[in-house]
Amino acid sequence: MTSALTAPGGAWAGSLPAATPAVQPLPGGLDELLTRQVPALVATRRHIHAHPELSGAEFETTALVHRRLTELGLRPRLLPKRNGVICDIGAGDGPLVAFRADLDALPLADDKDVDYRSTVPGVCHACGHDAHTTILLGLAPLLARLAEQGGLPGRVRLIFQPAEEVVPSGAPEVIEAGGLDGVSSIFAVHCAPQLPVGSVGVRTGPLTAASATLEVRLGGPGGHTARPHLTTDLVDLLGRVAVDLPAQLARRMDPRWPVSVVWGAIHAGVASNAIPSEGYLRGTVRSLHREAWQDAGEIIAKLVPDLVSGTGAEVEVAYLRGFPPVVNDKYATDVISAAAARALGHENVFEAEISMGGEDFSYYLEQVPGSMIRLGVAPPGATAQCDTHQPGFDIDERSIEYGVRVLAHTALAALDAPPPGSGATGGGR
């Protein structure tokens, strides 16, 4: 594994990774099949991008996925709310390997000047879920072909999950619907604009942080700014909480479990000469450690009243846990790393940086071994980086073919070498 090379400012600059003798073909003529379907996959991704759906409302995207899988002769089943799909490929008693894609878009405007720009005002696929979905749709015919040829040493489950971007999210719904029943390992890719197209980032252990949302509301008698002594000066108090809470929380937490508190909104009042009677702070709490994620809410609920004690302010604290951290299993990461090297060449497999973002793929990893990797989507020569969750986010669409190729190699490797202690045995090819 090599380290990612970056240009000044963190943006990658270079050319498309060239094929090397280390790149291995897929069996059964699958490379030719994949090459033929690439234009259709790009068209599918653009259609999904142009017709995004918010979390929990992914009905048309689900219908498209269900239709495409059915056309392959597969038997996909809808989730209970009919906004997600689970589809098994292959048969027999061999191991069962799962792959997950997320379907939902974000409540953001699409600022790109492209033909496939979002047609839904205020909704945009700004996190790459359209690409994730398309990659699994591209994987399905390859595995179906291999199963028909008798070359699939086990079964593969494709999970098209709703509501990754919200809390509560869709992963627990999938698990409740039996999405992990019998699964020996699970894998996923996530678009990474920090990496060049044709490369991936892999990491054992923590990949993303546990997350929570925090809201602090203060109330009290307002009044004229000429007489603050007759009021509870909430603007001053909110400013103190905004500055002091992160620092004081760090003193109350186990130093082995650092926590990040970042405010995203602060509001109180509208007039320059009137002290308001209510105001609020909203932000996020993040940690790479599950213990900190579990303990921080209780500590914050006690800490905020202490910070405003004696002022007469009324206090309300709401701490809503989001997702646990994504912690990649070593076995699974070794499998997908080796598969990516076969698909793209060893020189294009980088060590991924830890992200403080949240990802509900973590719920699956608490049940079975698995690994999420970063899929490079930055175009060659890129000098400016448009991150995910930004209105201008887009991908180099060649990443779709690379993603399919990596997951196809991963499926075969994971079926041949199931996790130790899983009770499954590989079929041997």
117-169 pLDDT, tens digit per residue, is: 999 999 999 999 999 999 999 999 999 999 999 999 999 999 999 999 999 99
List all residues 6 or more positions away from 405 whose beta carbon is below 8 Å from its beta carbon: 26, 34, 343, 344
Mean pLDDT for all residues in the chain: 92
> Would the CATH topology of 8-208+327-416 be identical to that of 214-321?
no
Domain boundaries, the chain: 8-208+327-416, 214-321
Q: Is the pLDDT of residue 381 over 80?
A: no
Distance, CA of 29 to CA of 24 (rounded, Å): 12
**49 belongs to an annotated ligand binding site:** no
Closest CA to 89 of 104, 77, 101: 77
The stretch 227-246 carries a mean pLDDT of 97
Higher per-residue confidence, 37 vs 5: 37
**389 belongs to an annotated ligand binding site:** yes
pTM of the model: 0.89
Distance, CA of 114 to CA of 308 (rounded, Å): 51
pLDDT reported for residue 382:
73
CATH topology of domain 214-321: Alpha-Beta Plaits (3.30.70)
**127 belongs to an annotated ligand binding site:** yes
- Torsion angle in degrees (nearest 10) through CA of 64, 67, 73, 74: 60
pLDDT band at residue 419, thresholds of 50, 70 and 90?
confident
Secondary structure of residue 218 in the 3-state scheme = strand
Q: What is the pLDDT of residues 385-417, one digit of tens each?
A: 789 999 999 999 999 999 999 999 999 999 998
pLDDT reported for residue 130:
98
At the top level of CATH, the class of 8-208+327-416 is: alpha beta
Tokens of 122: 């205020």
Q: What is the pLDDT of residues 302-356, one digit of tens each?
A: 999 999 999 999 999 999 999 999 999 999 999 999 999 999 999 999 999 999 9
